[in-house]
Structure 1
């Protein structure tokens, strides 16, 4: 299974090289100032530039020991006798060394205090990230690699900078009624969308086991969402929610699937994109086609569900076939010229030839989306791949 996508290995190696370079920048600055002082005319004063070394160390390495060491080295150079830096002259003013030392001491003190505050903020940020990771595991739980003969892989890419969870949702459960799947998209990206996702997924995790019919599962989701929206309407606005968004305009697109032990697929779709079916052709290449077995119902939230909710019969998931579910962020992704991402051909390329590997499909689409958009996403992207790994016959 693939969880929330992380930075690639090449980018990590580049980051390490950049950090190593920034750690030697303060030392290079000190050496450059000393060489400049030795090679320039004696009436040119560049020793005061040493005061910038502790500040550069604070901004680059962020280590207090480095700040103190560079500050001490700069003080020694500033206090060096004139003959050490100016062998043939005495142009240095009497108080020049004192002024340089005071400047260096001031910068060292400011950098030391600033770095202490920076370290406290970094620790707080690490704690917040740990809390966010725990929230992610609670809302979007890691999926098992296999469930009742179904191989599972998933991926999530948030459009919000620094976020690990957004408005997209998915879950796969093995129940007495078959393997049941949900994928959806709540309106927005902020904390309000995350709360909506938690309400819908919480209801699905109960209803999927309790309700024999897929239509009854959908009705339970609709009731849970309506309760959640009423509570939000009665309560105070929460910090982090998008301002100016009436609760009456909130909605969630939902696609419910049920995979029977024999591969039979049934679905209920409320405003969500239909999935793609991947199967191996006679030549070994993956054949990709979109499932669209029935009309799409309106999203949950603004409109009541109709009295009759017949589940649509889809093409069966044969042994070796894979089903790829996605949110609209994948197909709505655009490049710098405004061209939409073409998901179908990307799935065919990611599947390649031979047996379909769900994890490879997810990773291939992930790389293609990031290449197409240059890493700048306008909406969250969630992908879910299910492969029937039972043997034919």
Structure 2
């Protein structure tokens, strides 16, 4: 999961007690101004600011308690100013009472919405964690590592997906990205992964596997929804076969440190757009010898921007994957990505690293 930088965490921690203290600060300021200015200016009604701000962060009981404190202050200041029984004092008491009642109702509604939102997010995140199960650390002649960095709270969950399967013909893997966010994206990702996990064991080649994915998606998707994906098959002879459906091009890190983009000869549209009746991708192959690595990733990685708007230079940072342990190496790359953005990502970022042993 992505973590905000230290200064953002510090600000968030300071903001909570400040927000909690704000109603008392406002009532204290209004009381001081009224004592200094005298009764002729009529500041008593402004004591309603206390319960008004209380509903922003506290519960119903706290809001009512602050409202009672505001009423008590209004009576005390009214006595001090000699306004008890006057129209100004009555308006002040009515204002504080009315705002307290409205703030209590607002606090009830806010807490209900927060609970509902927390429940929805919890269900969606659990579904996503169940869907994106850990990949095997060793698959055939490969070692594998995966990294999934969640986006900011606005996006919360997305449709990034990944899987590694050891099939009779070799190791097969997929990384994809479903258009959109939320539970619908998770459901589409589940459709792709379910079809891939089954087809990867049964089908003789990647084209047949992708055909199964396309048929499964066509039953699920409608309109202009789609899924970008890249499928990979690694055989024991040192060859990678790839199928790219409109997905970001993976990068190869050779054993000698050279970085190569595994670019297809021609680009193809994503999965789920069979209604356009366009030709799908052709398989292409790259050499994959001992010590070589391939990084499959979603666009949340290469489209991550820093404060000045610069994209994350993934190819330039591939040297971070040179460590002995693929999981530790991929974690270094993930931390470097988060440091580049210096805050929560705006899109989920999934990375799958395969290394030939």
Q: Common fold, TM-score beyond 0.5? A: yes
Provide, for residues 75-118 of structure 1, a one-character-per-residue CA deviation record: whole Å limited to 9, x for no partner.
222112656x44xxx57773433332222122212211221122
Q: Of residues 351, 365, 384 in structure 1, which corresponds to 2:351?
A: 384
- 1:299 Cα deviation (Å)? 3.6
2: CA distance between counterparts of 1:154 and 1:312? 26
Matched with 1:19 is 16
Residues 333 and 212 (structure 1 numbering): CA distance in 2 closer, same or farther, change over 3 Å?
same
The answer on 1:345 being equivalent to 2:347 is: no
1: CA distance between counterparts of 2:77 and 2:215? 83
The answer on 1:363 being equivalent to 2:335 is: yes
Matched with 1:115 is 107
Matched with 1:72 is 68
Matched with 1:313 is 285
CA contact (8 A) 1:58 1:115 kept: yes
- 1:338 Cα deviation (Å)? 7.1
Residues 183 and 23 (structure 1 numbering): CA distance in 2 closer, same or farther, change over 3 Å?
same
1: CA distance between counterparts of 2:306 and 2:58? 37
Q: Of residues 174, 180, 194 in structure 1, which corresponds to 2:172?
A: 180
CA contact (8 A) 1:322 1:385 kept: no
The answer on 1:146 being equivalent to 2:143 is: no
CA contact (8 A) 2:303 2:312 kept: yes
Matched with 1:238 is none
- 1:312 Cα deviation (Å)? 3.1
Q: How does 1:281-296 map to 2 (within 5 A)?
A: 281=256, 287-292=258-263, 294-296=265-267
1: CA distance between counterparts of 2:116 and 2:270? 39
Q: Of residues 154, 160, 166 in structure 2, which corresponds to 1:161?
A: 154
Matched with 2:232 is 257
- 1:58 Cα deviation (Å)? 0.8
1: CA distance between counterparts of 2:121 and 2:316? 36
- 1:57 Cα deviation (Å)? 0.8
Provide, for residues 198-221 of structure 1, a one-character-per-residue CA deviation record: whole Å limited to 9, x for no partner.
322221011112224333212222
- 1:151 Cα deviation (Å)? 3.4
- 1:273 Cα deviation (Å)? 2.9
2: CA distance between counterparts of 1:129 and 1:62? 22
Structure 1 stretches of 5 or more lacking a match?
Answer: 233-246
Residues 269 and 279 (structure 1 numbering): CA distance in 2 closer, same or farther, change over 3 Å?
same
CA contact (8 A) 1:346 1:365 kept: no
Structure 2 stretches of 5 or more lacking a match?
Answer: none
2: CA distance between counterparts of 1:296 and 1:227? 24
Determine helix, strand or coil for the equivalent of 2:158: coil
Matched with 1:244 is none
Matched with 2:247 is 272
- 1:164 Cα deviation (Å)? 0.4
2: CA distance between counterparts of 1:7 and 1:70? 33
Matched with 2:2 is 5
Question: Greater helix share, 1 or 2?
Answer: 2
Provide, for residues 344-383 of structure 1, a one-character-per-residue CA deviation record: whole Å limited to 9, x for no partner.
12444x5488876012112322432x35xx8684xx4533
TM-score, normalising length: structure 1:
0.75
Provide, for residues 8-67 of structure 1, a one-character-per-residue CA deviation record: whole Å limited to 9, x for no partner.
5543332121111100111111111121122224422212211221111112x2222322
Aligned length: 350
Residues 324 and 70 (structure 1 numbering): CA distance in 2 closer, same or farther, change over 3 Å?
same
Residues 262 and 72 (structure 1 numbering): CA distance in 2 closer, same or farther, change over 3 Å?
farther
The answer on 1:33 being equivalent to 2:30 is: yes
Matched with 2:86 is 94
2: CA distance between counterparts of 1:218 and 1:12? 44
- 1:130 Cα deviation (Å)? 1.4
Let me know the Cα RMSD of the aligned residues: 3.4
